[in-house]
Structure 1
Amino acid sequence: MDLLRLIKAQVIKLKRTRLLVENEHDQERWNIPFYYVNLDSVDTDITLSSKTGLDKSQLKVSDKVGFRDRQNNDVYGKVIRLNRKTATILADDQTKWRVGYKWLYLVLEGEQGYPKLIEGEVIDSEQYV
C-alpha cells in the first residue's frame, strides 16, 4: 500500500474541520482533515539529500568544525587553513588534520549551564506580608 502519494479526489461535502472527498480513480470516499489537502500543488515527494558535508565557500578560518576520524571517533577543532580540496583543522588536542570538505560539519558553540538551575532573583518575603 503506497501511503505517501498524491491522489486526485473531488470534494463532496465541506464540514467544519473535515472534508468528504471521492477518489477519482476508484470512487472510494474518505473523510479527511483539511491539512491532508494539497491545494497549491506543492511537491510532496520525500527525497534524501545526497549532499553531505560542507562546501569551501561555507567555511572561513577560525570556524569550529567537527568530523569523524577513521576509527569513527568524533574530532572537534578549529579551521586554520582552507586548501583547494581539504581544510586544515587544529583539533582540540592540538593535533593537525587535513580533512576533505565533505566530511566536515559546523559546530555551534554555546554555554553549558547548570541543568537544574532556574534563573531568578531573591525577593524579601517580609516586604510582601
Structure 2
Amino acid sequence: MSRGVDPRLLELLNNASSLQLFELSAVIERLLADPRRIIAVRVNLHLGQTVRFLDWRDGSLREGKVLAMKDTQLVLQDLRERREWKLPYAAIEPPPAGAGRTQQGAAAQPEPSVPKPTREDFRRGDKVAFEDKYLQTVVGTVVRINERTATVDAGGGNTWRVGFALLRRVLDI
C-alpha cells in the first residue's frame, strides 16, 4: 500500500493521532471530489479506452477498459481478471493529453465541431438545461435575455445567470 510513498511521510502519519488522521482524510476526500480534478482526468477519457488504475487492495497499477463514465466515478473492466470495478476518477492514471480520442490502433479523427449556442438561439420562455459547478444538471426557463447571459429560473426561487454557450434546449415531449 505504501508503494511510491516517501518514507518520511509514512513515519509522520504513523506518529499522528487518530483525530489528526481523520481530519487529514476529510481534507483529502474534499480535494479528490473537486470537480476540476474530475474534469482534468475525464477530459481525455472515452468509452472503450484502456487505462491504468490503482488497485486499492495491494497498491498495484492494473489495466482496465472504460465501460461507463458517471459524474464522480467510472466503471472499468479489469483486463486480467475480467472483473468490473467502480472507481473514483482519482484512482485512474490520467492518460496523456490528446490520447483520449484515439481508438486502439486507429488514427485520431478530429471530431466535427458543433457550433456553440449564441444569444440568437434563445428566447424568453424557452426551457433550457445546464450543468452547475458541481456538474449537476439544472433545468429551468429563460426569463430574461441579457447581453452575454440568460437569466434562468430553476424554480423554487432559484435564478441563475448563465452564458449562452453553456445552455442547451430541453424539449418537452
TM, length-normalised to structure 2: 0.35
Flag the structure with higher helix content. Answer: 2
TM, length-normalised to structure 1: 0.46
Structure of greater Rg: 1
